[in-house]
Structure 1
């Protein structure tokens, strides 16, 4: 539990400085004191982050949410502390932020939602997108060094890139430089993205999703090469035939009919054609059925669904709801030994339909037939008209479906 104690110690130090800074009046702190507090807070934050990662790495899955909630609140206090200190420092020096300086960040910006940095799992083809986003959102901004290191460790998966997730991997500048030395290799990156472009999967299906997948794959690879200052806009004579070869036979035929038979087509023209074709495939209309046919079909579906729900709801486990014996309640010897009015009282609290003696619906919604002896809306075992005569099993099990008969059960 040493990591837990150390994490709590450094967090308490940050919160203490946070409270002291909030309580300090204008003029209580000079520039030197403010700079020292910023440096001290950065050291505590860095060490707190190291111990926090060790705890998260060893925590159970059900405890991760607790750790995450604790970290969010503590990180917010640290950001607010740095923002307040920097603001007071600028006030003391009489400085104001230049309006056209895109690399500076105001204290209010630090109080916004945490920056969402795309993750990097060590895959070389993802490096350029990650580097561009991280440099824009974090690296080139006027943020505390410890905060930058924390964001870098959050974005790069430690299991895939151990040099970032080790307990001691150096300061922010050392870690960022090590990452760039390993992955920012122009020759290797160019080969990877060219290979991804050439090895795109051929499309056998002529669907909107397949065509948009081709467009996105081409754009992703060529944009990465363009970021590396390669003249991809001059490669149309090569890229267009390669992309066309990946399309389905039907789309290739449509493209040949669409493009000029004598002039070279550009890649932008081909991608625009694929976008338009993908849109047309996603909005193909189905034949509209006759109005009366639609109404009849809808009514029939509703009736079928109601009957299905009713039949499903009436299933039970096969045991008698009255004595729990291995027989149906309609054949229960205890019930059959009683008079009809006594049978009703005995089953009154069983939540059964008194027309079919099954659970899950009322007699008003029951689709079974009526009494075999008198034709009224109740089960045969409740009938009083021939109560003196023995009831046969055929008379007891009345389950002839008559969904057209829906009436209130008679009072017994």
Structure 2
């Protein structure tokens, strides 16, 4: 009786794709081997077609083109094992995932469940790589214990009945603690409610005086601006020694470029809308920028004529 062979379009891909990530190689290898490589009803010519069609991304780019023959298939399969069957590298990446688990400040459902899930996955994949994980219990148990918050750590110590606890016992404990712990959002809501009961507020409700201070172009806004918008110093512009040394023309140009009020030298409004009083020497005219140099040089005698509009 003649054997029946599968064509490419008659065979559904149930082994997935491979993108060159060595951590995913073992799983892809096992699925493809079971579904295609060991299937005697599929000829090598079709096996290589299935394999090439399963490659994507970096794996597809790295492996390039191969002859779709029996020899080509076995050479490609061998080459992929040489490139991606890196047990030590994969195991190191897996252990780094476990070691990257954070130390918990408080117990929450999400954090405890993630710790359990990551540990489960790392152990499962190490077992797939044929590492003797049955001897690694102390490493994983101690690693998890050092990452528990103080309450969960105490609970584990009360539950532990042996000096040689197994990872199965620890993971079972984590799952129970996760079910009993509040979610992160519930914890934050509880914290806010507790603060309200104690009379604490993370943000104070805005009062009428606060609203007045926060109005744009308000006088109080001008007083609270303590950063030099021109030279980025930790002082107001009108106290900036470098700005004071500029000529009147340079000060005006700098104020215009930085969108500063010519009266108070603060941003976000114009001289016309400024709430601060103007020059006391020129009938309250709002040209305080003109007097910056006057203040700076008030002790110096100068015979130079004053610029137009400069206060006397």
Larger RCO (alpha carbons 8 Å, 6+ apart): 2
Normalised TM-score (structure 2): 0.49
| Larger helix share, 1 or 2 | 1
